[in-house]
Amino acid sequence: MAPRSFLPFLTVALFALHGCTLDRSVIAAMPGGSLVVGPLLACPGDTVHIAWETRRPRNEAFCAFANGNTAALLSCRISADCADEEECLDGYCNNCDAITNLQRRQTECAAPSFQGCEPNLNVRIQVTPEPDPPLADASDITQHRGERSFVIQETSAIAFRSEVIDAEGQRAGVAGAVGRIDLDARVEVIQTDLRRTAANAFECRGTTPNWAGVRLEDLYFGASPNLHLLSIHNPNGFAVVGNLNGDPLRLEARETISLNLPLFGPIQAQPDAAFLRTLPPVRCTATDTSGSLPSAPLQLKAGCVAP
C-alpha cells in the first residue's frame, strides 16, 4: 500500500521478515511495474533521478480502515453531508486524516474511500557502484510510487527489488496481490566523448530522391543537458549540404567543424548538387526505382561541458 504521490533495481537476494529469511527465488515475478531513470547519458557530477510505479491493483480487503475510516461508504456533495470531522472527497465521505500514524494513513486507508488500498510492499534500490554520498532512503521503502536522486560520477547500474508481501495471509485469492517486482536501468557516464553517425541514407520517397535526417535527441537518447554536440565530420569524398536545427549546413569533403550546441533538433545532409550532376541519373517513381545515389553520413562527437 502506498501514498498517493507521483510515480521512468541489483543483487540483493534476501530480506528479513518477522525474524525469518525470505528466499526471493520462490516468489513469482509480477509484471507491469515501471522504472524511469534520467539522464541515461550523463556527465560526471550530474544528478540522476529515479522514479518508480509498481501498478499493483487496489482492493478494499487491503484497507485496515474500511470505507476511508468511516462507518459506511456514504456518498456526499459537500463535507456538511458527512459526520463531524469527515470530509467529502471525490463524492464520498472520508476520515483518513484522523489517523495519526502517517504511514498507516497513507497505506491502509483509501482516499477517496471507494478506491481500495494497495498491497503491502517492501522495496530497496541499489546503485552499483555505490555513489558518494550514498542514495538516501534506499531500503525498507513502502511506497508503490516515488522518487529518489543521487549524484553520479561513473557508469552505474540501478536495481529496483521489491516484494509485495503477505505476512498475515490476508491476500490469498486476490490476483496480483503477492509477488516480486524486479526492474533495472543503466546510466552511462561520458568521461571523454560520445560518437554517433547520422546516416542520411538515400532512398526514393515516392517520385523524389530523399536523404532522411535524424533528430539529435533521438540519436543521443536520454542525454544530459550538459552533454553538447562538439563537432561534425564529413567522412565522404564529396561535399554535403543540409541543415542543423534549421540553419544551413555545408561541409566540404572530409571537413570537420567545431560546435558547442545542445543535443536538440534535426540534422540532415545530402550530397552537394554539383557532385550529384556527375553521377548517372536515378529514376524514382511510385512503383519503380532505377539506379541509386550515395548516402551522406556524418560523424558526430558529443562531450560534456560546464553547466
Residue 27: band (very low, low, confident or very high) from pLDDT cuts 50, 70, 90: low
145 bridge partner residues: 53
Q: Give the whole-number percent of the chain exceeding pLDDT 90.
A: 66
Q: Which tens digits make up the pLDDT trace of 145-204?
A: 999 999 999 999 999 998 776 545 455 556 556 678 889 999 999 999 999 999 999 999
Q: Which tens digits make up the pLDDT trace of 82-136?
A: 999 999 999 999 999 999 999 889 889 999 999 988 888 889 999 999 999 999 9
Last residue of a domain, one of 131, 161, 189: 189
The boundaries of the domain holding residue 254 are: 194-304
Mean pLDDT of 46-57: 92
Say if residue 159 is in the same domain as residue 266: no
Confidence at residue 10, expressed as pLDDT on a 0 to 100 scale:
27
Say if residue 153 is in the same domain as residue 215: no
Last residue of a domain, one of 69, 84, 108: 108
- The model scores a pTM over 0.95: no
Is residue 18 domain-resident? yes
Say if residue 232 is in the same domain as residue 245: yes
- In the chain, the number of structural domains is 3
Last residue of a domain, one of 189, 206, 224: 189
